[in-house]
A = this chain, B = another copy of it.
Amino acid sequence: MTPRSPIVGAVELGGTKIIAAVGSGPGAGILARERFTTGDDPAQVLAQVTSWMQDASHRVGQVMAIGIASFGPLDLDPSSPTHGFITTTPKRGWAGTDLLAPFRHAFPSLPIALETDVNGAAIGECRWGAAQGLEDFIYVTVGTGIGGGAIVCGKPVHGLVHPEMGHIPMPRAEGDRFAGACAIHGRCWEGLCAGPAITARAGRPAEDLAADDPTWEAVTQSMGHALATMTLMLSPRRIIIGGSVRKAGQLGEAAFFDRCRLHLKAALAGYVDSPALRDEGLRSFVVPPMLGDDAGLCGAIALAQDS
């Protein structure tokens, strides 16, 4: 263990499950991990998480800090009276939950860092994965929902709240009558490309779709529009697409990424010129995560180590 990789506690909170870990990095660096069901009683499950972490800290190595990457929306403004709270989530029981208090109570002397799940995943990919050496990039997850975390000049973007990229308005392809599946916006990006949207359009889930199902063309075309919007708005050096949809059933991950890249190129139509946006460059401009499903958890480790 070097001074640069202390053992820390890490928590990734998702809408379905919470993963807690004690460790110093990805892979073998994770010394202990546990899975909890998120449920609708935050006080109860957070007490289980902190209790497990106190125990794991005794068993495998004393933690020096805690990092938390969570679903939101979150209040990340350090000057706010509700700093560290989940704010307006539709997730039952979780609106108004103070995520920091249970950890402060269980680990009173330790620094505790909090980020959004996607900013966390971006930080993890930057430290150990597909964005090493980059200061300007985006991590998006396309799964049950869509979210994006942006790193600009090496720091996660917060601003007024934090980005909520999954809900951007989207163009409609000529002749497409699909109404979209977002309960709030209909045809926003999440309403067109998240798992439930694919199921609603195709009549069955993404993992059951044939490689030549026309739904893949509609979905990857919309992905191209969203990738173009990200490129034009934030000028990232790379966009990492995580989440389950990229696995793309019988189409497969490689073909899904190729089609997304082609549709991104078509949407930009040569307007932004950079080697990164030409054919070969595109293969390293739009990429899958290297840490897979552990990106967020590893990001929480990195957050804790930096705190």
- Which segment of A5-13, A38-46, A153-161 sits at the interface? A153-161
- A131 CB to closest chain B CB (Å) equals 13
Is A160's CB under 8 angstroms from B229's CB? no
- Which chain B residues border A152 with CB–CB below 8 Å? 152-153, 155, 157, 159
- Which segment of A20-28, A58-66, A271-279 sits at the interface? A271-279
* A and B contact pairs by CB, cutoff 8 A, 20 listed: A87-B273, A88-B273, A136-B160, A152-B152, A152-B155, A152-B159, A157-B234, A159-B236, A160-B274, A161-B273, A161-B274, A167-B271, A169-B229, A170-B171, A171-B172, A172-B172, A229-B229, A229-B233, A233-B234, A234-B234
Q: How far is the CA of A185 from the CA of B269 in the complex (A)?
A: 7
Q: Known: A171-B169, A272-B164. Contact between A158 and B184, CB under 8 A?
A: no
B-contact 0/1 string along A166-204, CB 8 Å cutoff: 111111100000000000110100000000000000000
A162 within 8 A of partner (CB): yes
Please give me the residue from chain B that is nearest to A235 by CB atom.
B159
- Copies of this chain, tallied across the complex: 2
| Count of chain A residues near B, Cβ 8 A | 49
* Partner pick for A158 among B150, B155, B164, B235, CB 8 A cutoff: B235
Q: A residues 242-294 with Cβ under 8 Å of B?
A: 267-274, 276-277
Please give me the residue from chain B that is nearest to A275 by CB atom.
B160
Please give me the residue from chain B that is nearest to A237 by CB atom.
B160
A47 within 8 A of partner (CB): no
Is B235's CB under 8 angstroms from A160's CB? yes
- Give the 5 A-B CB pairs with smallest separation, nearest first: A159-B235, A136-B159, A233-B233, A152-B152, A169-B171
- Which chain B residues border A277 with CB–CB below 8 Å? 160
- Which chain B residues border A161 with CB–CB below 8 Å? 235, 272-274
Q: How far is the CA of A150 from the CA of B228 in the complex (A)?
A: 17
